[in-house]
Amino acid sequence: MKTYKAYAKVNIFLKITGKRQQYHEIISRFMKVENLYDKLSFVSKEKLDAKANTFTILGDFSCETEQNTIYKAYFALKEATQSQKLEQLMQTHAIEVKKNIPAFAGLGGGSSDAATYLKMCNEVLHLNLSLNELAMIGLQVGADVPFFIYGYNSANVSGIGEIVEEFQEELLEIETYTPSIKISTPLVYKIYREDFYNPIDGFQTQELKQILSQDALKTMSPSQANDLFEPALRAYKELKNHYKSGYHFSGSGSSFFRVSEDK
């Protein structure tokens, strides 16, 4: 069966614009990382020693199946479509994931896997769901999932992640490195809210929406570009040892990235 690529992303900038109940509203520029992706495919259970009636994920995951974003995406899609074909597909096939995107890294690996799975099911089963419909289903799995559903190279992402607006610009060649530090996004946001909360206003938001990613990286320090960098350093002091000049911080971490110097 066909193999699908689930690309990583980086946050060129990530600024908090306000609160919505327990969530933080953001403005962020997401950019696809073209050289870093997981590979997903359906595998017939006839070739595996797998139970026919259980949802089976093959891959190097540290979480239980029920916590996996792909399983959550399956459940959300089943709820939304009530599709018998979907249940039959997952009874007869496993979903195999060849992981390359590190976990807990701020690179969106789990969200990208979930989005790719939703798109795979939509294509294979001819569910005829629009990208907007898939994005609304994906949002139930995670705030970053809609970006990966739309498949843009670059986008301004706002709200709690549900507003995705394509940004026309050159796709930069990004290189990433990820220290082996497992960062808790809820903890980083908690520290931000308690000690660093300083949302930007609408004028600053509009300016950021128009800046080219390359210019943002040249003119903003890691702390200026990402409101979560200082809270992450507070929570994980060892992170400072991994910071290198010229790199920026993606999401709530722990990955650093820069534009590749290899041309």
- In sequence order, the 6+-apart residues with CB closer than 8 A to the CB of 76 are 137, 138, 140, 141
CB-based burial label for 128 (10 Å; 0-12, 13-18, 19+)? exposed
- In sequence order, the 6+-apart residues with CB closer than 8 A to the CB of 4 are 39, 40, 41, 116, 119, 120
Give the residue numbers marked as catalytic. Answer: 9, 144
User: What's phi and psi for 108, nearest 5 deg?
Assistant: 75, 20
DSSP helix, strand, coil percent of the chain (3-state; round to 5): 40, 25, 35
Residues 59/43, Cβ–Cβ less than 8 Å: no
**Both structure tokens of 100:** 């390359």
User: What's phi and psi for 109, nearest 5 deg?
Assistant: -60, -50
